[in-house]
Chains A and B, each alone.
Chain A
Amino acid sequence: MPSVPPLPVQRSRGMRDLLPADMRAFRRVEDAFRAAATRWGYEEVRTPTIETYRLFTAAGALTPEMLSRVYSFLDWDGWSGERVVLRPDSTIPVARAAAEGNLGLPARLFYVQNVFRFSETDDREDWQCGIEYLGAPDAIGDLEVAAVAAETLDALGLKAQVRLSHVSITRAVSESVQASARNGVATHGLGALRGNVTNPQVAAFLEVALQPAGDPALLDNLAALAHSSVPAALPAIEELAGVAKALAASGRTVLIDLGMPRDFDYYTGVVFEFESHGESWGGGGRYSPGGPGTASTACGLGLEAGLLASHMAPTTRERMVVAVTPASPSDMGRAISVARALHRGGISAALSGEPGASKLGVTVSGSSLVARTPDGERAMSALDDVVGLLIQYK
């Protein structure tokens, strides 16, 4: 088979081409997500690839590590000194767009778009299926967003389990120890406190809290210890237990994992992560779209669309295309009619100069039609019969 002639230039390092095989798998993921989100009343948005750099520093939500890895540059208006970035994240732009467009609350929004971040590995462009439920009510909002994620993964045949935590529990424990012991909690989770806690009650609480991935019943045990150690954590434990039990009741496998590292400068409540086949497919949680410390609430979700698509690729079939071949130039008009009839039957068909271009074909010669399938060739006179035959191979 001839191939596209090579060009002397390759794609920019770390960027991603989605070729037909990738796109077929990607569309499966995207369609599953879009269907689930739409069922739950979410509406799609899309934000610009380029945003101002200030948007991300003003929100205060990105860590210095993330901010120092954005693609920033001076564009045509750069004479003003204002830098722009390729969006490193979609949550902040969606919140900005919703505010700029005066959307009423609550706003149930979803998107499928790419983000750009520098990385040492050659993976600098990522695609995400995301949800921003702005003005989401506590607990109920968390459950709904988690349901969209779980249903998306169900539709892809990935029976995922949900890992749950609550950053207010982490924060309460962290604040009950001396400041010097808190290093690393924001990035490495509650586990970073282990060994740094001198109060025996708090140490006991921490030991139970750090049990690897337990059942929701763990939270009842933890609440019992919290009264005498970290009482400030009680409301969060209770809220997390409510969400965990409701998710379990809806048939989900739930794991409580309070050691889960989550940036608690950013998240403000329940956080979750979906995993199966040894991969984390994404997660999310409650945050303040107005930046840390503001009263606004939202629940967000991001699924790794690129990762999911690569997982789905081996089981995603190529679509069959019927080659419709006019035997002579005078048959070209009829060949188009034959292709259209196949299209109406939901079959992909393309005109071809060679009968062997596809495993499925129709040769048009005057009023006679010859259908070719892997099971042999059949001469047919009625167009409907051709459609009826080929539809079985779709």
Chain B
Amino acid sequence: MTVKFALPTGDARAAVGAMLEGAGISTRGYEPSSRQLRSVLEGAGLTLRVFREKDIPIQVALGNYDLGICGDIWLTELQVRFPLQRVVRIGSLPGPRNEVWLCAAPESGLAEAQIPERQALADARIVSELPNLADLVAVHLRIPAYRLISVYGSADAYPPEDADLVLMPAADAEAVRAKGMVPLHRVFAGGIALIANADALAGRDLAPILAKLGPLFVLEEPALSFPASQPGVGMATAHPEPETLRMALPDGHAQRHTPAALRGAGLEFDGYDEKSFVRRPVSGIPGLAVKVVRPQDMPQLVARGMFDIAISGRDLLHEHLSRFPGSPVEMAVDLGTNRYRIGPVVDAAFPAETTAEAVDIWNRLGRPIRIASEFPATAERFARDHHLQHTMIIPVAGASEGFVPEDADFLVEGTETGTSIRANGLKMLDPFMESTACVIVRRDPFTKQTALLADLIRRFQGAVAAVPAV
């Protein structure tokens, strides 16, 4: 019987790996250079599995993993909303500390540590990638009729015109200031923790691992603190001008192809190129404002009227429309780049080559079929369209290839070349859609700059016509 241990990918990987090695726990396959997501160390009776940190408390709560190491911030984000999760926080491990700050833009007129009074916050828009904590802060402040904008990231891009308050992770108050925000209250502080599934802790032999990690525990408890309104403190709010046309450009990976697509359309923005990006590149076109945000958030933001046009992907648009069929977002131009296929992905040894064969097998298993996906609404729609009888959708933040076969029956996943799918011992059945980069707009635009909007769409259409499809 092996102990299943969930470990974080990303920034924490090197530090956690070094700590485990130092404690005498073998981490073969977990080195930052490794592309493996799962490593079975038979001699050590240990299975290591790499997850995005955010997924670790969920996997441990589900009982798929006995132990996990993750940031307190993600454990707290889960537990404030779902108090019944079967997770035990065993102790703090040495590692990077992280904080969560409630902050505002300088335009709010708020000084550091100032919290507006309740009525001044009425209808406040709060943006956060930690929606459960943000909700809790809002209800503790008893903000009347607040609105939550739940985003994947780049929360500091929104104030002052698109949000009044931001709840964001930051190393400390100085890091908040460095992002141009005013720190108002530290809502959370924590480090990294060793967590365990409660049933595993009560019924499985985890002693060899616990004995090695035991001496490492440090005396730093995570702290949650809610701000209190201060009588007489007001705040200034700003709202977008309908005289401006607002365009969203992607940050991160999706940025790679975007500057070229823009150049093709005869657009070049100061501060947005292959080497660098700033939050608000300068457009040089009168009436056009540009902002850089997470691509996953774009359909939602265009639907809400926070942007009039965005460069996004058909995968993200499909996900949004699968969840909200009545949404006013639509594709204006298919840019044809970033082409990849999305379909059900199973273990290479799974005895089916087509989706139909697989569905037949799944429906005869007599148990819920677990589908892990970064596109949960798309996965749900796939299950419905293919008459899968009983499914469990597991939304994941990333590193999804590692879920099959142990933690999910299949993935709904994309692949450009198939390399990473093959490297993880997986195969794709029949792809059901092809994604490309695209320009999305709102059916009923918020901006009054409709001529400029039409002009931008024409430019992108012209660029696509000039380049033959790949």
Residues of chain A contacted by B144 (CB below 8 angstroms): 57-58, 60, 291
B139 touches A80 (CB 8 A): no
Complex: A31 Cα to B79 Cα, angstroms: 42
Contact indicator per residue, chain B 304-333, by CB within 8 Å of chain A (1) or not (0)? 100000000000000010011111110000
B414 to chain A, nearest CB (A): 23
Contact among B135, B147, B304 for A79, CB-based, below 8 A: B304
Is B113 part of the binding interface, using a Cβ–Cβ cutoff of 8 Å?
A: no
Complex: A193 Cα to B140 Cα, angstroms: 23
B22 to chain A, nearest CB (A): 40
B29 to chain A, nearest CB (A): 38
Complex: A80 Cα to B305 Cα, angstroms: 9
A79 touches B326 (CB 8 A): yes
Is A172 part of the binding interface, using a Cβ–Cβ cutoff of 8 Å?
A: no
A120 touches B324 (CB 8 A): no
Contact among A57, A77, A81 for B326, CB-based, below 8 A: A77
Name A69's closest neighbour in chain B (CB-CB). B83
Contact among A60, A64, A77 for B140, CB-based, below 8 A: A64
Is B149 part of the binding interface, using a Cβ–Cβ cutoff of 8 Å?
A: yes
Name B150's closest neighbour in chain A (CB-CB). A81
Contact among B84, B303, B323, B325 for A80, CB-based, below 8 A: B303
Contact indicator per residue, chain A 92-127, by CB within 8 Å of chain B (1) or not (0)? 000000000000000000000000000010000000
Complex: A236 Cα to B444 Cα, angstroms: 56
Contact among A79, A82, A120 for B327, CB-based, below 8 A: A79
Is A24 part of the binding interface, using a Cβ–Cβ cutoff of 8 Å?
A: no
B139 touches A58 (CB 8 A): no
Name A72's closest neighbour in chain B (CB-CB). B135
B84 to chain A, nearest CB (A): 7
Complex: A57 Cα to B136 Cα, angstroms: 12
B300 touches A68 (CB 8 A): no
A81 touches B143 (CB 8 A): no
Is B345 part of the binding interface, using a Cβ–Cβ cutoff of 8 Å?
A: no
B320 touches A79 (CB 8 A): yes
Contact among A58, A60, A67, A81 for B148, CB-based, below 8 A: A81
We find that the number of chain B residues with CB closer than 8 angstroms to chain A is 31
Contact among B135, B139, B145, B324 for A54, CB-based, below 8 A: B145
Residues of chain B contacted by A67 (CB below 8 angstroms): 139
Is A83 part of the binding interface, using a Cβ–Cβ cutoff of 8 Å?
A: yes
Is B277 part of the binding interface, using a Cβ–Cβ cutoff of 8 Å?
A: no
Is A78 part of the binding interface, using a Cβ–Cβ cutoff of 8 Å?
A: yes
Residues of chain A contacted by B149 (CB below 8 angstroms): 81
Name B300's closest neighbour in chain A (CB-CB). A79
Name B145's closest neighbour in chain A (CB-CB). A58
B139 touches A64 (CB 8 A): yes
In the complex with contacts A79-B303, A120-B83, A57-B143 CB distance below 8 A: yes
B329 touches A79 (CB 8 A): yes
Complex: A291 Cα to B122 Cα, angstroms: 13
B451 to chain A, nearest CB (A): 26
Complex: A74 Cα to B324 Cα, angstroms: 9
Residues of chain B contacted by A80 (CB below 8 angstroms): 303-304
Is B138 part of the binding interface, using a Cβ–Cβ cutoff of 8 Å?
A: yes
Residues of chain A contacted by B143 (CB below 8 angstroms): 57
Name B325's closest neighbour in chain A (CB-CB). A76
A119 to chain B, nearest CB (A): 10
Residues of chain B contacted by A83 (CB below 8 angstroms): 148
* Residue of B139, B150, B303 with most chain A CB atoms under a 10 A cut-off: B139
In the complex with contacts A79-B324, A79-B329, A60-B135 CB distance below 8 A: no
Residues of chain A contacted by B80 (CB below 8 angstroms): 68
Name A57's closest neighbour in chain B (CB-CB). B145
B324 touches A76 (CB 8 A): yes
Contacts of B104-134 to chain A: CB distance below 8 A: 118, 122
Residues of chain B contacted by A76 (CB below 8 angstroms): 324-326
A57 touches B139 (CB 8 A): yes
Residues of chain B contacted by A57 (CB below 8 angstroms): 138-139, 142-146
Complex: A67 Cα to B142 Cα, angstroms: 10
A7 to chain B, nearest CB (A): 12
Complex: A159 Cα to B186 Cα, angstroms: 53
A72 to chain B, nearest CB (A): 8
Could you list 27 A-B pairs, sorted by A, with CB under 8 Å?
A: A54-B147, A57-B139, A57-B144, A57-B146, A58-B122, A58-B145, A60-B118, A60-B142, A60-B144, A64-B136, A64-B139, A67-B139, A68-B80, A74-B323, A74-B324, A76-B324, A76-B326, A79-B304, A79-B323, A79-B324, A79-B326, A79-B329, A80-B304, A81-B147, A81-B300, A82-B147, A291-B144
For the complex with contacts A79-B328, A83-B148, 6 further pairs of A-B residues with Cβ separation under 8 Å are A57-B142, A58-B122, A58-B145, A79-B320, A81-B150, A81-B300
Residue positions of B touching A, CB distance < 8 A: 80, 83-84, 118, 122, 135-136, 138-140, 142-150, 299-300, 303-304, 320, 323-329
Closest 9 CB pairs of A and B: A79-B327, A58-B145, A79-B324, A79-B303, A67-B139, A64-B139, A54-B145, A58-B144, A64-B140
